[in-house]
Structure 1
Amino acid sequence: MRVPRGVPAPRRRIELVEAWMAVVFDTAALARHERADALAAVASETVAAADVRFADRGRAHGRMEAWLFGPVEVLRTETTGLDVLRTPKHVRTTPAGLFSVTRQIGGTRIHEHFGIQEVLAPGDCGAIDHDNPFVSVMRGASISVSLRMSVDELELPGDIVRSAALSLRGSPLCPLVSSFMVDLVARADRIENDPGAADLGRAGVDMVRALVLSAAGAEPVEGIGAGLPAPLLLRQMETYLRLNLRRRDLTAAEVAAAHHISVRRMYRLWADQGLSMQQWIIGERLELTRRMLADPRHAERTIGWIARASGFRDASHFTRRFRAAYGVGPSEWRAEARGAGGSVS
């Protein structure tokens, strides 16, 4: 039975029940004295790691359904009287690499993220960057649906993602994504195994990316760089990015500020040339790793070390990217390069 990312494997009497193609966790299947601990374990691992508190442990209830659509995980969650606190320590020790958009269906949730508190009533949407601390407080019964995906799938800089998490409801695209989530959950059992399910998930990533860009789209005043010809600005940005290619903390705001233009203007420049700055960065990083893998000076370095040294977040994401770009995994490439005396091109 498939267990979605973030949901723990069965332990003791925690039961995961398969209903159609959805994996369901339901405290109703447990003895009353086991429900709070089981729900705390599932709620914590769903967000990577967190502290979980109950208004009344004796009345703890939770039910979770999960479906996979390619790169997107869809969740429907019911809980009662539950607080989830993901602290800075959790973020440091258990990074998640996840971004989620959630629509509140029933009940009210108080959510605090980046020092801003908001109340999500039925119909409201919110966003969570799981690699930043947050607190979600659910008093009484709460029902929500969520789209979860890897931050790397969004292919957007962290500062854009963080900005969007604070202003999601201000975007005119929010109702569209909200309706998509509700409609997808309503049909999930019937379409999860459809041949087009993975493409539907990828479309969901595109919709969330558009929502994030829209929500983070407040445009600063343009500086002196706005008057430079687009080709010159692009060449200057490429030079800057190559100099900072290995940095995982490089942000879009930094690149734009270094060239005296707004973030929106910067993205428009790349788009007008049919390019994506994030894809360009990934391509350059992949070429860097390919050279490092073939370099005898790095023969004792692990794949993970080379990936991180080249600016990738983790080895698994890097390996997927490398294979997609070159048709072989990094280990095979390294072996071929060694066999050819480091001359593979």
Structure 2
Amino acid sequence: MKVLTVIGARPQFIKAATVSRAIKEHNEENPDRTINEIIVHTGQHYDMNMSDIFFEEMDIPKPGYSLGIGGGTHGAMTGQQLEQIEKVLLKEQPDWVLVYGDTNSTLAGALAASKLHIKVAHVEAGLRSFNMKMPEEQNRILTDRISSALFCPTQTAVKNLEAEGYSNFGIDINIVGDVMYDAALFYTERAVKPSSIDDLDLSDGFVLSTIHRAENTDDRDRLSEIVSALNQLHLERPVVMPLHPRTKKKLEEFGLKLNVKLIDPIGYLEMVYLLARCTFVASDSGGVQKEAYFFNKHCLVLRDETEWVELVDNGSNFIVGTNKELITSKGEEILRKELPGSCFGQNLYGTGDAAKQVVAFLNNKK
């Protein structure tokens, strides 16, 4: 059986690494029923620190195709990816196309396959922010609808699909857990300390922050509120931020000054090191707010909504938007250790074998 995996953005490399490893293990155990995986890297994120390093440190198979399509408007990017992925599909004729998450690469891969009547499997299906202004929300909804198999990380995701009538669509819906949890378990012992924090005394803990979402970076007022809040928190406890290129550009454009410990973008193993050792997390990333939970850390969600509602419901994460007072007050509350730790360890995202379940399903559908 041949599976074509489409990835293009940093979080997808992490997710794909778990499934690629499960495919490798399957092939070693079943030499008469091997799965041939071909990876297509669209190039949606392409930077040595944002892309190539992930393939190296996570032992992901090198892409069979690197399309080099990044930048530009959403429409232009998605259209170019659709055209180029279709050419690859016509050449390779895979049995399945495997896509992850909610990026333009995900939608382009799914749409190209669907129009050629090639089965699509969507990993991390069923997530909903209920904010249709988000490109990610548009991408994930459309991808779910044209897939043949949906792999959901949580029961909430399954309920979302059921509420939208998916039980009537003839699509296989599977709750397998979260492949990101698989990755966290596997790579924790391989974590690497970022050399860029060697000059910082973190013995009393630190706040880990990431900002990259366009709704925050492209809005001066929202970004200004976040900057002001993080600067204030930094006076209480060091704030460490791997600085995303988009955020760096907008800070300069708006004349905003982040007085925190800024470091260059880092690889996943370095991120795991920081997640495991920070005091809490403040982020607008969908993945990072969930990874914080994997490492028993509270997270301030710097957005007005989240797909991971179960983390808000259980008291581990807090939606604070870009309100400076709310960010700082909740952050200081965490620093004072006034929140219970009982919200952690509830096994919300499976048992760490989501990737194996995905591979087993594909193999059984051969």
TM-score, with structure 2 as normaliser: 0.28
User: Rg: which structure is higher?
Assistant: 1
